[in-house]
Amino acid sequence: MKHLLLSALSLLILGQAMSQDIHIIPEPESVTPNNQSFVLSSGTKILGSMPEKAKHSIDFFNQYLSSYYQFQPVQGDSAATAKGNVIYFQMEAPSAADTTGAYTLHVGKDSVIISAANEEGFFYGMQTLIQLLPTAVATTLTLPGVDIQDAPQLGYRGMMLDCCRHFMPVDFVKKFIDYLALHKLNRFHWHLTDDQGWRIEIKKYPKLTQMGAWRNGTIIGHYPGTGNDNQKSGGYYTQDQIREIIQYAADRYITIIPEIEMPGHASAAIAAYPELSTFPNQSTVVPEHTTWAGSTSGKQVQQTWGVFPDVFVPSNNTFKFLQDVIDEVMALFPSKYIHIGGDECPKDYWKKSDYCQQLMKNAGLQNEEELQSYFIKNIEKYVVSKGHQIIGWDEILEGGLAPQATVMSWRGEKGGIEAAKQNHHVIMSPNTYLYFDYAQNKPSDSLTIGGFLPISKVYSFQPYPTALPADQHSFILGVQANLWTEYIASPAKAEYMIFPRISALSEVGWSKASAKNYDDFKVRLQTELQRYQLWGVNYCKNWDM
């Protein structure tokens, strides 16, 4: 009897220990420890019932093991079964009820089985498997036995990276995509044009990158700055590099949504082609209290941060230019969405322009807000004619929303609620919860744009606003966090601002509200922090504020 009691106690302790080792972010639908364990080594076989469907998942897993543990499993024969020391990807017959990305994961004594009805399910099941790996480097890894059922709550789970205020190298863009994949995010919003730099090669308009991709200096310190570094800076991505990055993301089941800003945030384009300006012969106005580097004559790429009055003129020439740009963008990016910005467009120059005022009169427009709507609708009509759709920041609601536009709600939740009530799709991206350029501790331990967004507040965000009736929740496509880079000049600083808040974001987008618990999340995050150390990530350590 004593031996039986000891055995039972041992099993209980073992089960508890294994349960404690199962710290998964985002929280799955169900996690059931099974009191077994699986030993992964270079002798483990990895295979799938339909290997072509599991290829990207297997490649990612092998690369991960090679990078951090210096070994790989053996590639198994596709005719083999899920027996022996194997990791097996089992394709299930799809049904109408299947959620894209849903999976089940079984970790037992002899096998790890990931089952899914689609490739994305394999990939996300494999990401969960990665989180079961010990964070201590070894060539033999013991995984806790567990049965997991899981599926994403939202179809759109994204992050935006601003490469305009500070250019980010190709290698870091790929690393950023890996970070999204490891957190089960599936959209990368790539901010490619703004006042401080044009970052995408457009072959029909070479001056965009010859001139618009570079600025003569950058302010020092917080706006308006204590001086100027007088260093020419910038860069751009060639179309070949963009194709390479798009494929890299697609292999990780991430769709890249490109953003081409209009009608505001256009200084870089106007510096290259002044005729796009409302007043093409007027020099760029240097903002008050800004120390400027180089010439102030003619049109210039901005060297400071903020909102500037020199915006695109709504002329046929501008629309032809933007249509040509969009043609090349659509030829590169397979995404059905093109993000056209639409935010922070001052109307000062339009109000002063005889051309714009006459255009408003001819088109029956009551004010400059309606002129912006006229501009956006013109662009949307062209984008839709090419089989794509537009996304815009919530300012595109002003003056009347374009018929098929999706709204990205950034000024709180109000714009998203209004758009959903008009039966438009919405991506929730409120600055008060999801702007990762905001400080994450008090006092801030680095230079930031301002604001305070601790990880606890990120975690508390609910994608479905309480003010939105339940029958309109279907218009909420998902959530997105944004990393604006005015005060983020390097990949290391970008990582510091992302981590660990990206872990909270992943749970906001993936897990059901009923599964979320911040105290439990903080416990699970301790293991994730060890994984950050394994990855060599420059993460914020003073995060629990």
Cβ neighbours of 296 (radius 10 Å): 12
CA separation for the pair 282, 371 (Å, rounded): 22
User: Over 70: is that where the pLDDT of 443 sits?
Assistant: yes
Let me know if residue 261 belongs to a domain.
no
pLDDT category of residue 543 using cuts at 50, 70 and 90: confident
**Looking at 83-97, 304-318, 481-495, which range is the least confident one?**
83-97
Q: In this structure, which amino acid lies at residue 40?
A: L
Let me know if residue 229 belongs to a domain.
no
The pLDDT of residue 83: 78
Q: Which of 92, 244, 328, 344 is catalytic?
A: 344
The pLDDT of residue 506: 98
pLDDT category of residue 79 using cuts at 50, 70 and 90: low
Which residue is it, tokens 């292999």? Answer: 251
Residue 131: closest CA among 141, 121, 140: 141
Q: Which pairing describes strands 233-234 and 214-215: parallel, antiparallel, or unpaired?
A: antiparallel
The pLDDT of residue 4: 38
Q: What is the pLDDT of residues 307-363, one digit of tens each?
A: 999 999 999 999 999 999 999 999 999 999 999 999 999 999 999 999 999 999 999
Residue 267: closest CA among 338, 202, 214: 214
Query: For the whole model, what pTM was predicted?
Result: 0.95
Let me know if residue 48 belongs to a domain.
yes
Let me know if residue 494 belongs to a domain.
no
CA separation for the pair 87, 54 (Å, rounded): 11
User: Over 50: is that where the pLDDT of 528 sits?
Assistant: yes
Let me know if residue 58 belongs to a domain.
yes
Let me know if residue 73 belongs to a domain.
yes
Active site residue 27: no
Domain count, the chain: 1
The pLDDT of residue 50: 87
Please give the average per-residue pLDDT across 530-539, as a whole number: 97
Burial of 299 (0-12, 13-18, 19+ CB in 10 A): buried
Q: Which residues of 438-474 are buried (b: 16+ CB within 10 A; e: fewer)?
A: bbbbeeeeeebbeeebbbebbbebebbbeebeeebee
The pLDDT of residue 272: 98
pLDDT category of residue 75 using cuts at 50, 70 and 90: confident
CA separation for the pair 132, 519 (Å, rounded): 20
The pLDDT of residue 84: 87
**Looking at 12-26, 117-131, 295-309, 393-407, which range is the least confident one?**
12-26
- Residue 46: give its domain's CATH number: 3.30.379.10
What is the domain range of residue 42?
A: 22-150
Q: What is the CA radius of gyration of the chain?
A: 25
Let me know if residue 208 belongs to a domain.
no
CA separation for the pair 15, 129 (Å, rounded): 18
User: Over 50: is that where the pLDDT of 8 sits?
Assistant: no
pLDDT category of residue 81 using cuts at 50, 70 and 90: low
User: Over 50: is that where the pLDDT of 12 sits?
Assistant: no
Let me know if residue 436 belongs to a domain.
no
User: Over 50: is that where the pLDDT of 121 sits?
Assistant: yes
CA separation for the pair 333, 338 (Å, rounded): 9
User: For residue 470, what are the contacts with CB-CB under 8 A and spacing of at least 6?
Assistant: 464
Please give the average per-residue pLDDT across 408-429, as a whole number: 97
The pLDDT of residue 78: 62
Q: What is the pLDDT of residues 18-70, one digit of tens each?
A: 444 799 999 999 999 999 999 999 999 999 888 899 999 999 999 999 999 99
CA separation for the pair 383, 258 (Å, rounded): 13
**Looking at 85-94, 336-345, 485-494, which range is the least confident one?**
85-94
Whole-angstrom distance between the N-terminal and C-terminal Cα of the chain? 51
